[in-house]
Structure 1
Amino acid sequence: MRYARGIEQVYFKALGLITRTVGRVVPPDDVEDIVQETYVKACQVKNESDIRNPQAFLLKMARNLALDHIKRAEFRLASSMSGAAGETDYEPRSSGDLTHDTAAGDQEFALFCESIRQLPQQSRRAFVLKKVYGYSQKEIAIQLGVSESTVEKHIASGLLKSRQFMMKHASVAEFAKPSVRE
């Protein structure tokens, strides 16, 4: 029989707290994966004696893993939205300067993330579940406890409002960019 190490024992005692902590950051369907990833990472810890408060360590690790998950999801959302950029009047311009373009891309991504944060809560949740996590409208309707037509309206509204936000605020960002003469 294998005896659990100290950090593993703390993990199992704090499992409910870890699950709730992760659940505050990510959608319910992703909680279990992140909690399991936390366990795997905890098992990989070499020097447990260096950890002063194992429970706080595990909670911080779980929260960081959840935040990393959200960042990856936001990146996927931004990537999927770049395909939709041709559907709007907003087109980022290239200055020909790689450093500048990288910084401008980071600013545009931050602007996009802010546009999503500005959405009403239900629209934001429906939009993120659809565009980031790839849920179907039916799955989102069940998750949010609303009809599929309401989900469709939330997603359409979220897309429209985020585009308007981007276009409105991009004009300010464009002012700071050097113009490219062709």
Structure 2
Amino acid sequence: MHYSNGMERIYFKALGLMRRTVGRVVPPDDVEDIVQETYVKACQIQDLRQIRNPQSFLLKMARNLALDHVKRAEYRLATSMTQLAGDGEFEIGSENDSTLDCVSGDQEFALFCEAVRHLPQQCRRAFVLKKVYGYSQKEIAAELSISESTVEKHIATGLLKARQFMHAKVGVIQGRGRYE
């Protein structure tokens, strides 16, 4: 397939970097789909002359598509959890995971998502891979190129900070002071 705008040459030159960029945002199984979607969208561009740095443009496009993918996954997860809560079958995490157990309604779930968004990036990635996508610590360690003990620390930190964030927000919402 040959496109007159030259985008395929730039795409294939940036392919490895795009895969790594997208792989930092989404699980490994989704990387190729997003990279291919980037290619389709890039080939639809009529005039490359308007783009100063086509490779940078492709990387930004791929990253944005990956972020959109994560947002859709969060929405699907929220919808599923809301439906489960309505059926009386709502259950997340282990019996000992009280932070996740308290996430039972739309407002609580939104608060929980906000708490997760406030986690440091690497901690958030490990936490989401474990709690949302169900990765093992070993899989997360391989995905993020960190040790399993670091993964464990990130998940524990994520739980602690999410709990603290949620308790602080609930206190403010209920009219209590932040430290009461």
TM-score clears 0.5: yes
Inter-CA distance 152–51: structure 2 relative to 1 (3 Å threshold): same
Question: In the alignment, which residue of structure 2 is the partner of 1:8?
Answer: 8
Partner of 2:46: 48
Q: How does 1:128-139 map to 2 (within 5 A)?
A: 128-139=128-139
Gaps of 5+ in 1: 93-103, 176-182
Q: Which structure is larger by alpha-carbon Rg, 1 or 2? A: 1
Structure 2 length normalisation: TM-score?
0.62
**Is the alpha carbon distance of 1:57 and 1:126 closer, same or farther for their aligned partners in structure 2, counting shifts above 3 Å?**
closer
Aligned-residue sequence identity (percent) comes to: 63
1:48-87 alignment runs, 5 A limit:
48-49=46-47, 52-53=50-51, 55=54, 57-76=57-76, 78=78, 83=90, 84=92, 87=101
Which residue does 2:114 correspond to in 1? 114
User: Quick one: distance in 2 between partners of 1:86 and 1:146?
Assistant: 25
Q: What is the distance in 1 between the residues matched to 2:117 and 2:170?
A: 16
Matched residues in 1 for 2:158 and 2:165: separation? 10
For the residue of structure 2 that corresponds to 1:62, the secondary structure is: helix
Give the alignment's TM-score, normalised by structure 1: 0.61
Contact 1:80–1:131 (CA<8 Å) still a contact in 2?
no
Q: Conserved in 1, the CA contact under 8 Å of 2:19 and 2:31?
A: yes
Deviation at 1:34, TM superposition (A): 1.7
Point out which structure has higher relative CO (alpha carbons under 8 A, 6+ apart): 1
RMSD: 3.7
